[in-house]
Structure 1
Amino acid sequence: MVVSTRPNGEKGDSRGIPITDVARLLGVPMPTLRSWELRYGIPELSGRPSGQHRRYRPDEVNALRLMRDEIARGEQAALAAQSVRRMLGGQGQAQELILRVLDAAERMDAAGIRARLDLAADALGLAGCLDDVLLPAMRQVGVWWAAGHCDVAQERMATEAVRAWLDRRSAFAPAPTRSRPILLACGPSDLHTIGLESMALLLRSQGWPCRLLGARAPTATVAAAARASSAAAVIVVSHLASGRLRAVESIRAVHELGIDVFYAGNAFSTPRSRRGVPGRYLGVRVQDACADLTQALEPTELGG
């Protein structure tokens, strides 16, 4: 991973990510990426080649990811582009903080990553830090690793530094104000838990007791834990399209117990991927997911 300073003082990847890699990692065809740039200005044209050799900076990959997510939610492309520009317009400070986290990751500076996340939480609040700095930065590290722009040692160091930061924040969360726990689990095929841990931290900060079942949680384990703990709800997260069906099995197993079930992740990013799945889809932002879950469960909690 190489982070450098461009002439205008903005930091970024001096090589950028090739359009072929961005298309593969985002699951968006190259012609569509070019169309978004040429027709809608997402990301903004920067005077560089827009053809086969186009390379994207971290902020540009983020803009493309937002565009993909808006369209996946059913927005028309032109309206999605307007939404993305509004979101990016309010991300100036967040973008700078993302770049500082990435700079620390590039230098293998775990303490620096944690310190920059503390700065982000102070500046943006916990929810803003999670949604607008921590998760975008980790997605970018994942993009670089998958494209061969950083090695496995850097990726693992960044992941463990972020996980340590989340654990420390969780340790100082307020005492729960609700009685029944929320269980959070990855699908049986899914390994990545940072998003799940981020959601648990924000829920804990709002008074929910949480129990993390972690990566590759078997369906039987999720169902047994939900029953034994009298869970208020279960959240199942799956990012791998190849693991979607196994994640749906876990969702169905919880639903059949009569327990509220919610789900999230890239495997469910399109309306088609959610068709016939019981429970409620939580979207792509942690703070919105927690608000939706609380709104759905609060009447039950108050009644109990």
Structure 2
Amino acid sequence: MALTSSHGSALIERVAEGRLSPAQALRWLSEAPGGQGSHSPAPPAATGTPASDEPSGGRDPEALAQVMAELESLVGLHRVKQAVRELRAYVEIRQRRAAVGLACEPLVLHMAFKGNPGTGKTTVARLVGRMLKALGVLPKGHTVEVERADLVGEFVGHTAQRTREQIRKAVGGVLFVDEAYSLARGGEKDFGREAVDALVKAMEDHRHELVVIVAGYHQEMELFLNLNPGLRSRIPFIIDFPDYTTEELLAIATEMLRVREYRLTPEARERLASALLYHRLAGWYPFGNARLVRNLLEAAIRRQAVRLQGAGAYSREDLMLLRTEDIPLDQAGA
């Protein structure tokens, strides 16, 4: 007995509604005994998840391995790495459940990154976008990085237009909103709230093709997440980025200098450690982390240039070496 028309209609209806993927429907048709002339079972039940959430066949294991290797190569960030690994596992297991017809909640991956400057938030956001593309979740996986000036306009209606334009650029990948808390400044009549409203709407309207990551300092981000009633509920993943230890910052400094073909003498390394400790103990908020390291090294390279030019004669080794006197105690070069 061939497949019944009612079974075929049920399949078409569920695919049209997005409750069953075409791949699942074809798999069932190929495996159903009715396709070979015998009694056929009822069509598979709807999974409760849109077909667009299921594995798209766009997985790229090689790219995924590359992204995860880059993540693991980052200095420190142990809790952040664990959170990204958990995110990967969550997506992959959810894809497996969808593939075998198990019920799945809609896949919503919007995130908040909380931490001081220079803790790797932007770097990790880019890796997350590439990871989700490699997993077949996002079609592009690119990252559009914006801040308040890119979203907030100067007159009524301008902000929504600007924000929608940035959202349009980011669809298919990640919209990374740095210092997102700045959108909450200025009181009730500030245009930043209009940008937040547009972002919340985009989180819902484009939830299958866009990941929004809002980022900023810990305390300020808590206030920001309470700005709009729908904001916190649409951000299921909140990741804390801790400050780096002094040893981790020295490792970051070593890598920065290696890329630029410089290196520190042992005494200069101790001086840099003292400078980092000075900034930490001074209690300046926020602590600059890797951004502070970069600024100190750039000041050191300038001081080295002045020192070498004054010497008049220098070797290749001299051009690469940063000495104690080159390392400033603060970012201004003092």
TM range (shorter): under 0.3
TM-score, normalized by length of structure 2?
0.22
Mark the structure with the bigger radius of gyration. Answer: 2
